[in-house]
C-alpha cells in the first residue's frame, strides 16, 4: 500500500489529537484538551505537513504502530483497517491449514 492509500484510510475525525492520560494497566483516558495544532472546527491538523517538526511527540502511524499502540480510539479507521486485515489473514491461514490437513488425510 502506498503512502497516499495509507493516508486515505484516516477519516479525519481528529479524535487521536486530544491529550490523553495513561492510567497504566492499559487504561487510557482521553481529555477534552485538543493538541494546540488541531483546528477543532474542521478536525484537521493546522501543521500536518510539518507536524513532526512542530510537535516532536506527534507520531506518523504505520501498520505495526497501530498494532502496538494502546491509545488509539477503538473506532479509529486505522485500528479498524488493521483489525480487518489481521482477521482476514487469520482466516486465510486457518483455511490453508484445513486444506493441508484434508490433503494429508486423503493420502493415508
Complex with ligand SF4: residue 11 or 100, whichever CB lies closer: 11
Distance of closest approach, residue 108 Cβ to ligand SF4, in angstroms: 50
Neighbours of 17 (CB within 10 A): 19
Contact letters (x/-) for ligand SF4, 27-66, by CB under 6 A? ----------------------------------------
Backbone angles phi, psi at 26, to 5 degrees: 80, 5
> Shortest approach of ligand SF4 to residue 41 CB, angstroms?
15
Q: Which three cell numbers stand for residue 97?
A: 491449514
CA distance 38 to 30: 15
Scanning 1-76, the segments in alpha helix (DSSP H) are 3-9, 51-54, 63-68
Q: Which is nearer to ligand SF4, 75 or 96 (CB)?
A: 75
Count how many residues are written for the chain.
Answer: 108
Minimum distance from residue 46 beta carbon to ligand SF4 (Å): 14
Interaction site with ligand SF4 (CB under 6 A): 10-16, 73, 76-78
Amino acid at each position: 500500500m502506498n503512502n497516499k492509500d495509507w493516508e486515505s484510510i484516516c477519516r479525519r475525525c481528529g479524535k487521536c489529537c486530544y491529550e490523553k492520560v495513561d492510567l497504566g494497566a492499559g487504561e487510557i483516558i482521553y481529555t477534552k484538551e485538543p493538541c494546540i495544532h488541531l483546528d477543532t472546527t474542521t478536525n484537521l491538523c493546522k501543521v500536518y505537513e510539518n507536524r513532526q517538526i512542530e510537535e516532536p511527540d506527534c507520531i506518523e502511524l504505520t501498520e505495526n504502530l497501530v498494532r502496538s499502540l494502546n491509545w488509539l480510539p477503538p473506532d479509529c479507521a486505522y485500528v479498524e483497517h488493521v483489525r480487518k486485515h489481521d482477521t482476514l489473514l487469520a482466516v486465510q491461514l486457518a483455511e490453508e491449514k484445513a486444506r493441508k490437513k484434508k490433503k494429508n488425510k486423503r493420502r493415508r
